[in-house]
């Protein structure tokens, strides 16, 4: 095998797309999916790659420093793509300790295991890479603005030079100071700082990326898009936080996975890259697109389910607007999102409607038996 790469959190939403891409695209690499299988980890997300000779699953907690160190030694690991994390803001508000443990201590445990193993080799850091996947939420929240009294969204251009619709005139760029608000984003921010510290202090070849909100198949239905698609299908209420005016910047998950592939191979050491498709949506507008798409695909009358919209108490500390400026990635490495949002949403809604078994398994909790059935005795 040309390389051995650990992908942490590979049984989760984004991780499963990254594992699938790497296993299929690089038969000469050994891809090791290291995942603790928390409630968010589901090996059924990876059924199609399970039998491939270059794929291996290891059930392990990233906080298990000795286990990670031994795995790196046994498999001669030269790259880590780190996605494992507690990822849901609402859960972080209820249980911040778990977020600090996994996102901060877990990242530190991986960094230290990689440091000790790579430093013990004759070639040391050469040919090694620690790639940490982070979020735009570490930058804090942007405002909705009305330049010259124009009601957002208005046409603007970030430093990409291309026009797009935006809800404000500021964007998250890589040089911004971190200002996280939620326990989730605070824990992610702390982990990003540790990754940079390992480069600056020990010389570890690291790279960090901060991506906007992802959507697509296999996302756990606690997050807005899969939760609402499933609720619309079953005519259950859609709990819209506050007035539904918060803005998120959405990227199709496979476009994130392609960016990760590119940056893992060609990104500059010690750099940070923002990943996003200049695609801002006000929650309530996005929810209406979801309702219309589900209704159309199920042959229901247009707008039939708009009455499911239910305004509920706002999330504590709810960030108003996220908007990523990904010009650096686009200019330096030539990455572009491949899908228009309308296409991506149509594909996503179709996938959830056609994969009701996956959704039923996840909502019933049965998916957690999959590991026992598939991996027992291996």
Query: Interface residues with ligand NAD (CB under 6 A)?
Result: 8-9, 11-15, 35-38, 40-41, 61-63, 83-87, 102, 106, 133, 135, 188, 211, 213-214, 220
3-state class (DSSP) for residue 311: strand
Give the burial string for 78-114 (b: 16+ CB within 10 Å, else e). bbbbbbbbbbbbebbeeebeebbbbbbbbbbbbbbbb
Encoded one letter per residue, x for contact with ligand TYD by CB under 6 A and - for no contact, window 145-184 reads ----------------------------------------
Rg (CA), the chain: 21
- Residue 313 CA to its chain's centroid (Å): 26
CA distances from 115 to 4, 35, 102, 168, 206 (A): 16, 20, 19, 42, 11
Q: Is 136 a residue of the active site? A: yes
Q: Does 241 bind ligand TYD (CB under 6 A)?
A: yes
Residues 261-290 that bind ligand TYD (CB under 6 A): 283
Rounded distance between C-alpha atoms, residue 131 and residue 82, angstroms: 6
Q: Is 131 a residue of the active site? A: no
Rule CB under 6 A: choose which of 67, 153, 221, 239 binds ligand TYD: 239
Tokens 């570890």 belong to residue: 204
Other beta carbons within 10 angstroms of residue 245's beta carbon come to: 16
Q: Of ligand TYD, ligand NAD, none, which one sits near residue 62, judging by CB under 5 to 8 A according to partner kind?
A: ligand NAD
3-state class (DSSP) for residue 179: coil
Rule CB under 6 A: choose which of 142, 240, 251, 349 binds ligand TYD: 240
Q: Is 48 a residue of the active site? A: no
Q: Of ligand TYD, ligand NAD, none, which one sits near residue 89, judging by CB under 5 to 8 A according to partner kind?
A: ligand TYD
Rounded distance between C-alpha atoms, residue 179 and residue 163, angstroms: 27
Closest approach, Cβ 222 to ligand NAD, in A, equals 9
Q: Does 89 bind ligand TYD (CB under 6 A)?
A: yes
Of 61, 86, 136, 295, catalytic:
136
Closest approach, Cβ 121 to ligand TYD, in A, equals 38
Contact (CB, 8 A) for 369 and 296: no
Encoded one letter per residue, x for contact with ligand TYD by CB under 6 A and - for no contact, window 293-322 reads ----------------------x-------
**Residue with Cβ nearer ligand TYD (38 or 206):** 38
Rounded distance between C-alpha atoms, residue 84 and residue 107, angstroms: 9
Contact (CB, 8 A) for 329 and 266: no
Q: Does 133 bind ligand TYD (CB under 6 A)?
A: no
Contact (CB, 8 A) for 329 and 173: no
Q: Of ligand TYD, ligand NAD, none, which one sits near residue 283, judging by CB under 5 to 8 A according to partner kind?
A: ligand TYD
Rounded distance between C-alpha atoms, residue 236 and residue 84, angstroms: 31
Closest approach, Cβ 315 to ligand NAD, in A, equals 15
Rounded distance between C-alpha atoms, residue 105 and residue 226, angstroms: 29
Rounded distance between C-alpha atoms, residue 229 and residue 184, angstroms: 24
Q: Of ligand TYD, ligand NAD, none, which one sits near residue 111, judging by CB under 5 to 8 A according to partner kind?
A: none
Q: Does 223 bind ligand TYD (CB under 6 A)?
A: yes
Rounded distance between C-alpha atoms, residue 276 and residue 58, angstroms: 31
**Residue with Cβ nearer ligand NAD (121 or 227):** 227
Q: Does 246 bind ligand TYD (CB under 6 A)?
A: yes
Closest approach, Cβ 243 to ligand NAD, in A, equals 22
Q: Of ligand NAD, ligand TYD, none, which one sits near residue 224, judging by CB under 5 to 8 A according to partner kind?
A: ligand TYD
3-state class (DSSP) for residue 212: coil
Cα angle value 96/173/242 (rounded, 5°): 50
Closest approach, Cβ 183 to ligand NAD, in A, equals 13
User: Where in the sequence numbering do the catalytic residues fall?
Assistant: 136-137, 184
Using CB under 6 A, list all residues that contact ligand TYD.
Answer: 89, 213, 223-224, 227, 239-241, 246, 248, 283, 315
């Amino acid at each position: 095998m040309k390389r051995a790469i650990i992908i942490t959190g590979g049984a989760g939403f984004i991780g499963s797309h990254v594992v699938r891409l790497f296993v299929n695209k690089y038969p000469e690499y050994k891809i090791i999916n290291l995942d603790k299988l928390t409630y968010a980890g589901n090996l059924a997300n990876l059924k199609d790659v399970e039998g491939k000779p270059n794929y291996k699953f290891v059930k392990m907690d990233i906080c298990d420093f000795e286990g990670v160190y031994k795995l790196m030694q046994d498999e001669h690991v030269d790259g880590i793509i780190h996605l494992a994390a507690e990822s849901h803001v609402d859960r972080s508000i209820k249980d911040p300790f778990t977020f600090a443990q996994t996102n901060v201590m877990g990242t530190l445990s991986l960094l230290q295991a990689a440091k000790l193993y790579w430093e013990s080799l004759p070639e040391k850091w050469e040919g090694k890479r620690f790639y940490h996947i982070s979020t735009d939420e570490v930058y804090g929240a942007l405002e909705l603005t009305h330049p010259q009294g124009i009601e957002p969204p208005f046409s603007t251009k970030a430093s990409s030079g291309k026009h797009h619709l935006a809800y404000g005139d500021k964007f998250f760029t890589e040089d911004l100071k971190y200002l996280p608000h939620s326990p989730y984003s605070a824990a992610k921010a702390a982990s990003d700082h540790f990754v940079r510290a390992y480069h600056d202090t020990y010389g570890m070849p690291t790279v960090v990326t901060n991506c906007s909100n992802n959507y697509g198949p296999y996302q756990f239905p606690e997050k807005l898009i899969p939760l609402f698609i499933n609720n619309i299908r079953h005519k259950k209420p859609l709990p819209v936080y506050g007035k539904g005016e918060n803005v998120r910047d959405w990227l199709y998950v496979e476009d994130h996975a392609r960016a990760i592939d590119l940056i893992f191979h060609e990104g500059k050491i010690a750099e940070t890259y923002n990943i996003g498709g200049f695609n801002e949506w006000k929650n309530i507008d996005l929810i209406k697109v979801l309702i219309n798409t589900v209704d159309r695909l199920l042959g229901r009358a247009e707008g039939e389910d708009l009455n499911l919209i239910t305004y509920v108490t706002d999330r504590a500390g709810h960030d108003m607007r996220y908007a990523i400026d990904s010009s650096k990635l686009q200019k330096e490495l030539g990455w572009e999102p491949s899908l228009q949002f309308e296409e991506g949403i149509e594909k996503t809604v179709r996938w959830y409607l056609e994969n009701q078994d996956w959704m039923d398994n996840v909502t019933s909790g049965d998916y957690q038996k999959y590991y026992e059935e598939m991996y027992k005795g291996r």
